[in-house]
Amino acid sequence: MSKLKIGLVQQAVANNDKQISWERTAKEVTALAQQGCQLVMLQELHSTLYFCQEENTDYFDLAEPIPGPATDFFGHLAESLDIVLVTSLFEKRSAGLYHNTAVVFDGDKGMVGKYRKMHIPDDPGFYEKFYFTPGDMGFEPIQTSVGKLGLLVCWDQWYPEAARLMAMAGAEILLYPTAIGWDKTDTPEEQKRQHDAWFTIQRAHAVANSLPVIVANRTGFEASPQAGEPGIEFWGQSFIAGPQGEVLALAASDKEENLMVELDMARCESVRRIWPYFRDRRIDAYDDLLKRWRD
Amino acid sequence: MSKLKIGLVQQAVANNDKQISWERTAKEVTALAQQGCQLVMLQELHSTLYFCQEENTDYFDLAEPIPGPATDFFGHLAESLDIVLVTSLFEKRSAGLYHNTAVVFDGDKGMVGKYRKMHIPDDPGFYEKFYFTPGDMGFEPIQTSVGKLGLLVCWDQWYPEAARLMAMAGAEILLYPTAIGWDKTDTPEEQKRQHDAWFTIQRAHAVANSLPVIVANRTGFEASPQAGEPGIEFWGQSFIAGPQGEVLALAASDKEENLMVELDMARCESVRRIWPYFRDRRIDAYDDLLKRWRD
C-alpha cells in the first residue's frame, strides 16, 4: 500500500466525565473515517483532564484496566468504522501499579497492541512519576493492517533513542500522542523556545529515521487544582511530517482541530536510498549509549 | 566562564592553492579574534575544493600529515591570536590510509586534540568512502581553555548517537564543520526539504542534549570535474543555535560570511534543570542501539 490516509484529533478537555469525552471524540473520529482516513490517532490521556498537575491519590480512580470500558468503547468504534485507531489511557495494571499506555485497535481484529510510556517526566505541573510506572514492554512497533506503528508517548519525544529503536524494528510511522503546554508565567520568548524545541526534535526524528511522524497534542487551558499554581495552556499545534521532516499539516495552538494527510509511503524508501543513514551507523563505537553518563 | 564569544567562517573555495586559501582564511579568523571571539571554527576541508565529487587517485596529493604544513600554519595563527581555533583537513596517516580530520588549537598550548570523522557518506558527487577511512578515535570531546568541545564532522550531523555520546562525555558545545549543498537538477521543493532536514536535525541535537550547536558550512558553486555531472551548489547557511535549538545567528546561502555570537554558557545548565532528559534515559532498554538492525 503506497498511499495511506491518516488523521488525528486535537482536543480541549473540560472535565473528567469520560462518557461525554468518548462521545465527543467518537464524533471526530467518525468524521475523519468518513473522509477516508485509514488510521486515526488521539492525544495523550484524551479521556480526562491532565490530572498530573498535582499529586493526589484520588486520581488513581481515573485509571482502568485493559481490557476495560475505554478499550471496549474504542474497540467497537474502530471496528464499526473499519479503521486503525490509536488511543491513550491511564492503565490500572494492579493496585499500586499504573501506566500511561497507548492502545491500538485494528478494525475487526480488535486490540492489536499497546505501548506503555517508557520515559516518564516529572517537573512542576507534570508530576507523572507519582502516577505512572515506567513501561516494561520496551520499544516494539505494533503491526496493523496499515503498517507497523512506532508508537511512543509524549516525554519519549525528547529521546532520539526511542525513535531509532522503533525504526530499527521496522516501524513505518512514528506516532506521538502528547500533552504539553506553556506555563503562562514564562516569558513569551521562553514559551516560543519551548514550543520550537518540541516541534524541531520531533521533525528531527522523521529526518534521522526517514519516517513520517504524527503528533497529536492537547489544546486549551486547564487550571491547576492547587491554589497559586499557573495551570497549563496546552499548546496544540499537532502536526504531521513526512520522512524528511517536512511539515505536511499543522493545527492551531488555541482550538480543537482535526488534521488529515495522505502519506505516500513509497517516499520513505526513496529518501533512505539517497541518504542511507542506517548503512553507516558506527555500532562498533556506540557502546557507551548504554551508560548513564560517560564519567 | 559564563559568557563565551564564538565565531565561524563560511567560505567559497576557488581552487586547490592551499597557501592562498590559508591566507584568506587567516584574515577572517583574525577579524573575528579582533572582535573578541575566543573560539573560531572553520568549515570542513576548508583548504581546498571539495575534491570528493569524483574518485581520482591524484587527489590524495592534497592530503597531509599531522603535524604538517596546515597544522603548523593554523597552530601559529591560533597562538598569535590567543584563541581556540577549530580547523579541518584531509589527513594522510600513511600511504593508503587517509582521514577526514578536524584539529583543535588552543593559543600557546598548540594542538590540543583532533577528531577523525566517524560516519563517512557516499552518494553521487560525495564519494567520501573512496578517500576517508572511518575514524578510529571514537566520540571524545576535546578539552580546551574555553571548555570541552564535542567536535563532529558533516555526515556525523545526521546521527543523534554521535551528539549524545559527546554530550555524555561532558561536551559543552557541539561543533560541525561541514560541506553540503544542492544538486541543481533536484526540484526547488526537494532542495528546500534537504536543507530544512539538515537545519532541523542539527538544531535537534542542541535540544536533545541542551547544548549550543555551531555549524560552519561551505558556500559557492563547485563544478564537477566530470563532464555531464551537475556540480554542487554548497548551501552555506552556517548557523549557531542555543541549548534549546534556538537560532542565534544564521548566514546567507550564497555568499561568504562570518558569524559571531556571545553564548551564555550558564543557560545550558538551567535548561537541563527544568527538562532533565539525562535523568530519564532508559538505558535498561537501549541494548539494541548497538545492533545494525532489529531483525
In the three-class reduction of DSSP (H, G, I as helix; E, B as strand; rest coil), residue B5 is classed as strand
With contacts defined as CB-CB under 8 Å, which chain A residues touch B155? 280
Q: Is residue A202 within 8 Å of residue B198, measured between CB atoms? A: no
Residue A78's Cβ-count burial label (10 Å; 0-12, 13-18, 19+) is buried
Give the tens place of pLDDT for each residue, A178-226: 999 999 899 999 999 999 999 999 999 999 999 999 999 999 999 999 9
Average pLDDT over residues B261-272: 95
Q: Give Rg (Cα) of chain B.
A: 18
Q: Which is nearest to A256 in space by CA: A218, A205, A294?
A: A218
| Residue A163 parent element (H or E) | helix A160-168
B243 and A CB contact within 8 Å: no
DSSP letter at A284? G
Average pLDDT over residues B252-270: 96
Q: Is residue A251 within 8 Å of residue A236, measured between CB atoms? A: yes
Q: Is residue B86 within 8 Å of residue B149, measured between CB atoms? A: yes
Give the tens place of pLDDT for each residue, B128-151: 999 999 999 999 999 999 999 999
A160, A274, A292 ranked by CB distance to B123: nearest? A274
Q: Is residue B272 within 8 Å of residue A147, measured between CB atoms? A: no
Tell me: pLDDT of A292 over 90. yes
Q: How far is CA B273 from CA A180, B210, B278, in A?
A: 17, 10, 10
Tell me: pLDDT of A137 over 70. yes
* Residues belonging to chain B: 295
ipTM above 0.95, yes or no: yes
What is the distance between the alpha carbons of residues B34 and B11, in angstroms, rounded to a whole number? Answer: 19
**Per CATH, is B3-290 categorized as 3.60.110.10?**
yes
Give the tens place of pLDDT for each residue, A241-276: 999 999 999 999 999 999 999 999 999 999 999 999
What is the distance between the alpha carbons of residues A113 and B279, in angstroms, rounded to a whole number? Answer: 28
With cut-offs at 50, 70 and 90, classify the pLDDT of residue B1: low
What is the distance between the alpha carbons of residues B290 and A110, in angstroms, rounded to a whole number? Answer: 34
A121, A245, A281 ranked by CB distance to B161: nearest? A281
What is the distance between the alpha carbons of residues A88 and A72, in angstroms, rounded to a whole number? Answer: 13
Mean pLDDT computed over every residue of chain B: 97
Catalytic residue flag (residue A44)? yes
With cut-offs at 50, 70 and 90, classify the pLDDT of residue B187: very high
Interface of A with B in 84-123 (CB under 8 A): 118-121, 123
Nearest-Cα distance to chain A for B281, in Å, is: 7
Tell me: pLDDT of B79 over 80. yes
Average pLDDT over residues A14-26: 97
pTM for this one? 0.97
Q: Is residue A81 within 8 Å of residue B245, measured between CB atoms? A: no
B187 and A CB contact within 8 Å: no
Q: How far apart are the first and last CA of chain B?
A: 48
Average pLDDT over residues A108-135: 97
Mean pLDDT computed over every residue of chain A: 97
A118, A193, A286 ranked by CB distance to B244: nearest? A193
Average pLDDT over residues A37-53: 98
Tell me, what's the pLDDT at B223? 96
Tell me: pLDDT of A1 over 70. no
Q: What percent of chain A has pLDDT over 90?
A: 98
Tell me: pLDDT of A82 over 70. yes
